[in-house]
Amino acid sequence: MSPKAKSVAIAIGLASLSGVLVGYGQLGPLSPSEGRPSLAAWAICAVLPLLLTLVATVISKDWIVRLALLVEFTWFLRITFDTLRLSRIV
């Protein structure tokens, strides 16, 4: 496997893990029905996926994958801000 293909595979794996973490956070610890989220829940379900997506963007060597990861990053950022607003933190 070429280095470019390896970087894309790793980046897609990190992005997939980010998606799973965001989805889990929205269904569980970050949902308003659970009360005010703890700092650990924010760190694991909101901040970590953003960081993983940024790392995946840096690692990837293909421009189309970088573009898709930047779109995913902005989507996760919007979800995080909406959740912060919904929890009346911002």
In sequence order, which residues have a C-beta less than 8 Å from that of residue 25 and are 6 or more positions away? 41, 44, 45, 46, 49, 83
Encode 27-64: b = buried (16+ Cβ within 10 Å), e = exposed. Answer: eebbeeeeeebeeeebebbbebbbebbbbbbebbeeee
On whether the CB atoms of residues 62 and 8 are closer than 8 A, the answer is yes
Share of the chain above pLDDT 70, in %: 99
Q: What are 34-67's pLDDT values in tens digits?
A: 778 888 888 888 899 999 999 999 999 999 999 9
Give 47 or 89, the one with higher predicted confidence. 47
Domain locations in the chain as residue ranges: 3-86
**pLDDT of 83 over the 90 cut:** no
Size of the chain in residues: 90
Strands (E), 1-90: none
On whether the CB atoms of residues 7 and 60 are closer than 8 A, the answer is yes
